[in-house]
Amino acid sequence: MIDLSADLGPIRLKNPLIAASSEFTMTRAGIDAALAAGAAAVISKSINESPDAARQLDIADYVALDCGGTIAPWESAGDDASLFCRSGLAQAPRDEWLEMLARADRAARARDAYVAGSITVAEAAPAARLAAAMEAAGLRWIELNLSAPHGREAARGAVRQVTDAEAVGEYVRQVRAATRVALTVKLTAQSGDPIALAERAVRAGADMLVLMGRFQGFMPDIETGRPILGSAGAIGGRWALPLTLYWVSKCFKAVAPAMPIVATNGVRTGDDVIRALLSGARAVELASAVLGRGPGVFAEMLAGIEAYCERKGIARLAEIVGKAAEAAVDYGALRPVKRAGYPWDRFIRGV
Ligand SMILES: Cc1cc2nc3c(=O)[nH]c(=O)nc-3n(C[C@H](O)[C@H](O)[C@H](O)COP(=O)(O)O)c2cc1C
């Protein structure tokens, strides 16, 4: 029996798979479907104090883009497609929402699983009040999302993407002061120095880091000459995995190997989960794969992870955390590469 458990500090997961916050986790039915399929935890759809942020869900729109940038049918888009969208926040009245989450979390205990509340921030003080309300409702875990790619486009102040280290510290400090439950902080790489953001979040009291939020993108349709979706949108895809794992590996080494890191943005298969763990993450959060292929991806990934552990003789999955990050060599310490030529020499020769 392989031990797949993940130690996230105050939270111990039965396996490293978490359903990330998305429209899939916006209803009790979606939350239950993810848990029934084997997810160790569900991060519920985010809320905040701004009516504009909830109203943004009314203009939400979603397409799958193939790797050439063309809209692909959702049903057959597959793991290589990028999910390009405008999303908003959950619209249910706050107390009703928290009661539903608390009930879902109580039911999750029977599966040795968790349902976490999620706040995509607008202002810090209301985020802290929401966190306190989540704890009072009985939730055991809160994720504070400081990474929202829509921050720049959203109605003024409705949703913020926090790119300044001092501001990260202030958001986390206020929320930490308001609650004692496990606190995850989700950060963006669309800032000058993600390591500085991570350091501030840790210093201000984060229990875990989630790296990294998706990116804001823009894609014209060359037939109509207009932007796909009619606007900018958030984008993520399999191509994002190495970008995510770069910062996971850097934070694993720089911030503190003892600080639990969760990887999000680009994980699509069991092999990708292994890649994330080797880079220093202890768990992963998945949205696109679940929205595109359904919650069956959890069982599929668990089978892939178990097959890998069996093939490699790994008894405890946590053994591999950070192995690749530790083996990474700084450019300055590398020896010159001996080569007979470059692969592209054949295009140049004889010109
Ligand atoms: C349609 C959609 C809605 C999302 N909504 C939220 C949200 O409300 N709060 C949040 O923290 N992240 C949100 N995310 C980001 C996901 O939680 C996740 O971090 C991201 O999609 C990267 O993972 P993936 O490559 O598995 O999709 C959303 C993503 C998508 C695609």
Reported as a single tens digit per residue, the pLDDT across 237-246 is 999 999 999 9
Q: Does ligand 1 come within 6 angstroms of the Cβ of 53? A: no
Q: Is the CB of 98 under 6 A from ligand 1?
A: no
Q: Is 4 helix (H, G, I), strand (E, B) or coil?
A: coil
Q: What confidence score (pLDDT) does residue 100 get?
A: 98
Peptide bond into 212 cis (omega under 30): yes
User: Rounded to the nearest 5°, which phi and psi values hold at 316?
Assistant: -130, 115
Those residues of the chain that have pLDDT short of 50 are none
**pLDDT number for residue 157:** 85
Model pLDDT, residue 154: 84
What are 177-197's pLDDT values in tens digits? 999 999 999 999 998 899 999
**255 and 202 in contact (C-beta within 8 Å)?**
yes
* Amino acid type, 82: S
Confidence (pLDDT) at 256: 74
Q: What is the pLDDT of residue 351?
A: 63
Q: Please report where in the chains the tokens 């943004």 appear, as a residue.
A: 56
How far, in Å, from the CA of 271 to the mean position of ligand 1? 20
Whether 21 is in the pocket of ligand 1, judged by its Cβ within 6 Å, is yes
Q: Would the CB of 216 count as within 6 Å of ligand 1?
A: no
Q: How far apart are the first and last CA of the chain?
A: 61
Please work out whether the CB of residue 292 comes within 6 Å of at least one atom of ligand 1: no
Q: How many other β-carbons are positioned within 10 Å of the β-carbon of residue 173?
A: 17
- Using most ligand atoms within 8 A of CB, pick from 18, 21, 89, 120 the residue to mutate for ligand 1: 21
- Ligand 1 pocket test target in 288, 297, 298, 301 with most atoms within 8 Å of CB: 288
- The structure tokens listed for 194 are 């993600």
User: Going from the N-terminus, what domains does the chain have, and what CATH number goes with each?
Assistant: 6-329 (3.20.20.70)
